[in-house]
A and B are shown apart, each in its own frame.
Chain A
Amino acid sequence: MKREGLVRIPSGCAIASVISTEGNRMSGETIINAMVPMHERSNGLGGGFAAYGIYPEYKDFYALHMFFDDRSARKSCEVFLKENFEIIKSEHIPTLKLSTITDEPVIWRYFVSPLRAGLRELQIDEREFIVRKVIHINSRQPGAYVFSCGKNMGIFKAVGFPEDVGHFYRLEEYEAYSWTAHGRYPTNTPGWWGGAHPFGILDYSVVHNGEISSYDANRRFIEMFGYKCTLKTDTEVIAYIMDYLLRVQGLTLKESADIVAAPFWSTIENMSDRREAELKTFLRTAFSQLLITGPFSVILGFNGGLMALNDRLKLRSMVVGEREDRVYIASEEAAIRAMDPLAENIWAPGGGEPVIVKLKKGA
């Protein structure tokens, strides 16, 4: 059977997240619990988490989480890493042996910063440098795969049910102010860990539910700008789109949402605020190929916040709740209740209506 990336595998999913707007850090146990009542939405073929604020002692360095097929793949990739980065620390990511999680690759993490000479040579900024090097590794370095590359954040994923994956990575031992989680229901058995979600680039991480119908239009557009969709998954292309719109084009979260889940033309025509209508028309026309159609609910994680977004027809479920400094978002209310039985203001955001939650004090 072809490995993920050589073939496109549609999936259904469960997603959940929690964030403390005060920046209070919480252990991974909360988010693992959220995934338990949504067990039926996954089929044991992929689970994962993204956690923000977990590496305060290394917050100025990019944390590369990597899978290697074997030791020799790691050794040869490390040559590449050393040519491009100053490596502050490199270590095994601690795991717990579980009968439910098998066939694990070599899982490693590096805290790095780009070599100045490399930046000067390419005349690009640090973040663009990271993106290029990560895409290089993932498309050119055999047996090596970067699955997380942001600062002070990390993605943890594996083939298995999400709650097992959480325990496997000992997420109870990490403290994050924001967590997102994903349980996957792929339509066949890729058996490759890189294919699990979240998908991340820099500090942007995406968990996503639904199979989009615009995939190849989006992919073929975004690949013009240096991205390479090696996994052929919706999550991957959405992450690249968000990176392109937010980082490269400098758009706001709201503006980006107006592109990927653009309002219908008829809605725009009926807007009473002309400036608003002009802006939406502009964004939709300028980036028509980044409109995402078909069902999706996504949670975008980034340093300092979260954005949840449904497709404009709201073909997937998504619920938001809150209490005190915490905001919860999940595919099902049950997941929110599992995290906090006393959560209040439970509501379902409309299609194309982004829910943006940011830390009060910034990242």
Chain B
Amino acid sequence: MKINFILPEFEVIRDRDSCVSCRICERECSNGVHSFNEKKKIMTADQAKCVDCQRCVALCPTSALKIVKADCSFPSNGNWSEASIKEIYKQAETGGILLSSMGSPSCLPVYWDKILINASQVTNPSIDPLREPMETRVFLGKKPDKLKRDSDGKLKCELSPQLSLSMPVMFSAMSFGSISYNAHKALASASCELGIMYNTGEGGLHKDFYEYGKNTIVQVASGRFGVHEAYLEAGAAIEIKIGQGAKPGIGGHLPAKKISSEVSQTRMIPEGTEAISPAPHHDIYSIEDLRQLVFALKEATNYNKPVIVKVAAVHNIGAIASGIARSGADIIAIDGFRGGTGAAPTRIRDNVGIPVELALAAVDQRLRDEGIRHKVSIIAGGSIRNSSDVIKALALGADACYIGTAALIALGCHLCGNCQSGKCNWGIATQQPELVERLEPEWGKKRLVNLMNAWKNEIMEMMGGMGINSIEALIGNRQMLRGVGMTSKELEILGIAHAGE
């Protein structure tokens, strides 16, 4: 007897009075949940296939559908959660490694939510950003140690290459392959309009997107997919991906079935082969090897591009960042453990790495203690959810933030967490042409531009409240933050005082 212990997680509730059997839900669901029962002339649902992506609900013309969490449950148990029990059933049945996507949903502390922002009262004025100048431009890159003058005494205006951003937020690395052509196009074109950057991820740069080069960060990861001279030259900056917050210490694997013709051309590998990114860069087994890759890239691009080194937030992140800063890198990107992913082993996603808030605070302080903070800019990512998270990250010491999940949500992602299936009903994490075309790039671009503009206005409003009219005066300005409900150790690491102090 074959028993499947795994009960459907969601329940499809259909209001029979409203349903007109138009079969839109059937057409829209790539998971095959809905079907029309010819005999009974009604729509039925295979609930076990439902991932709660809400596509059918959003498109039902008569609002007849509702997806709810199934209330069928295991006996309540404070130790054995329903999720834990189900995971055992899945593994006992298949012998497989649990695979998840998007950022960790586990209930570990979100420090952003325990940090509060200051505002001016009496002793200095707040500023109205609608009526007074308010600057959000940042430059990422190495700043000079000692200025030089020429023989006439004129200051030499020599700076290492800088990334100029109209606001301190960028779209983080998501490869073409893990997300669709249309999603990439929306991100690329929105970045251009906004004057910020998007990031190719490790999947190469599609030939159509070279035109967005000045707003592109090209990534070089351990698999070196799509990495060649023209690719390196195409972007405004080069990012060496060492690690990712959702899966520190492990590589990546884009299965052959996702290597479509376009993906194969962009990655420069034959169609239908596996795209494996090894866990480490096999030319980096030590910190001095990182310096070698940083300078190899600089040499290959004649020192015209800033080089970013992206690492996952892990235990000894302060020392790691210090090593990176001394490796010649211009920018360090720190990806916190809640960062998103197209696919990662569940155990790694939910148990490896540390929160970006603590990592960022530790890195910023460490670099200052060593007197080298100005030699490298810091980007924080790994679940920046809104503009106040951005403000808090900047005040803790970030020069800019990366957002991934937030951008995808703007494009319609409902966080169902099934990216690995490649069947994304919203046309984001899929290569199936009929699904990809659901995401209209122009529409997506508009939504991303709206989101960023809204955040920018909120950022300016909060800056105005603090009496700060230029974003650089916020960076590292920890006096503007206070903690609530934290231990003194947590406050010490974050370098902020408790509220009321």
Contacts and interface: CB of A to CB of B under 8 A. Distances in A.
Contacts of A12: 123
Contacts of A215: 477, 479
Contacts of B374: 221, 224, 289
B157 interface: yes
A295 interface: yes
Given A210-B124, A215-B479, A286 B147 contact: yes
B159 interface: yes
A220 B368 contact: yes
Nearest to B162: A285
B139 interface: yes
B368 A223 contact: yes
A213 B467 contact: yes
A217 interface: yes
A286 B159 contact: yes
Interface in B130-158: 132-133, 135, 137-139, 143-144, 146-147, 149, 155, 157
B247 interface: no
Nearest to B368: A224
Interface in A263-303: 264-266, 278-279, 281-283, 285-289, 291-295
Nearest to A213: B467
Interface in A221-268: 221, 223-225, 249-251, 255, 262, 264-266
B470 interface: yes
Contact of A249 (B138, B139, B146, B476): B146
Interface in A291-331: 291-295, 313, 315
Q: For chain B, what secondary structure do more than half of its interface residues adopt (helix, strand, loop), or is it mixed?
A: loop
Contacts of B466: 213
B474 interface: yes
B135 A264 contact: yes
Contacts of A8: 479
B120 interface: yes
A40 interface: no
A211 B125 CA distance: 9
A291 B473 CA distance: 6
A168 to B, nearest CB: 28
B303 to A, nearest CB: 17
Nearest to A262: B470
B123 A217 contact: no
B143 A213 contact: no
Contacts of A100: none
B157 A216 contact: no
A293 B468 contact: yes
Contacts of B468: 213-214, 293-294
A224 B143 contact: no
A278 B476 CA distance: 26
B480 A285 contact: no
B373 interface: yes
Count class of interface residues, chain B: 35 or more
A278 B124 CA distance: 32
In this complex, the member of A211, A217, A291, A313 whose beta carbon has the largest number of chain B beta carbons within 10 angstroms is A217
B132 A313 contact: yes
Given A210-B124, A249-B146, A250-B147, A291 B472 contact: yes
Interface string B338-381: 00000000000000000000000000000010011110000000
Contact of A217 (B137, B159, B162, B477): B477
B477 A216 contact: yes
A210 B466 CA distance: 14
Contacts of B120: 213, 294
A264 B470 CA distance: 9
B475 interface: yes
B139 to A, nearest CB: 5
B476 A293 contact: no
A282 B124 contact: no
B34 interface: no
A217 to B, nearest CB: 4
In this complex, the member of B138, B155, B372, B473 whose beta carbon has the largest number of chain A beta carbons within 10 angstroms is B473
A213 B124 contact: yes
A10 B159 CA distance: 36
A187 B123 contact: yes
Given A12-B123, A211-B124, A295-B124, A289 B157 contact: no
A212 interface: yes
Interface in B457-501: 466-470, 472-480
Interface string B96-128: 000000000000000000000000100111010
Contacts of B480: 216
Interface string B371-404: 1111000000000000000000000010000000
Nearest to B147: A249
B95 to A, nearest CB: 52
Given A278-B157, A293-B467, A287 B143 contact: yes
Nearest to B397: A220
In this complex, the member of A255, A266, A294 whose beta carbon has the largest number of chain B beta carbons within 10 angstroms is A294
A255 B153 CA distance: 13
A286 B143 contact: yes
A224 B373 contact: yes
A69 B147 CA distance: 41
Contacts of B147: 249-251, 286
A224 B127 CA distance: 30
B139 A211 contact: no
Nearest to A266: B133
A220 B474 CA distance: 11
A279 B139 CA distance: 15
A293 B467 CA distance: 8
B470 A282 contact: no
Contacts of B467: 213, 293-295
A255 to B, nearest CB: 7
Contacts of A217: 472-477
A170 B374 CA distance: 45
B499 to A, nearest CB: 15
A216 B475 CA distance: 9
B370 to A, nearest CB: 8
Nearest to A210: B124
Contacts of A265: 135, 137
A221 B467 CA distance: 19
In this complex, the member of A216, A262, A266 whose beta carbon has the largest number of chain B beta carbons within 10 angstroms is A216
A264 B472 contact: no
Contacts of B124: 10, 210-213, 294-295, 315
Interface string B292-316: 0000000000000000000000000
Nearest to B126: A213
Contacts of B125: 294-295, 315
Given A289-B475, A295-B124, 11 more contacts: A8-B479, A215-B479, A216-B479, A216-B480, A217-B472, A217-B474, A221-B373, A289-B374, A289-B472, A294-B468, A313-B133
30 contacts: A12-B123, A187-B123, A210-B124, A213-B124, A213-B466, A213-B467, A213-B477, A214-B477, A215-B477, A216-B478, A217-B473, A217-B474, A217-B476, A217-B477, A221-B476, A224-B373, A249-B147, A264-B133, A264-B135, A266-B133, A279-B157, A282-B157, A285-B139, A285-B143, A286-B159, A291-B470, A292-B473, A294-B124, A294-B468, A294-B473
Closest 7 CB pairs of A and B: A214-B473, A216-B479, A282-B157, A213-B467, A288-B472, A293-B473, A10-B123
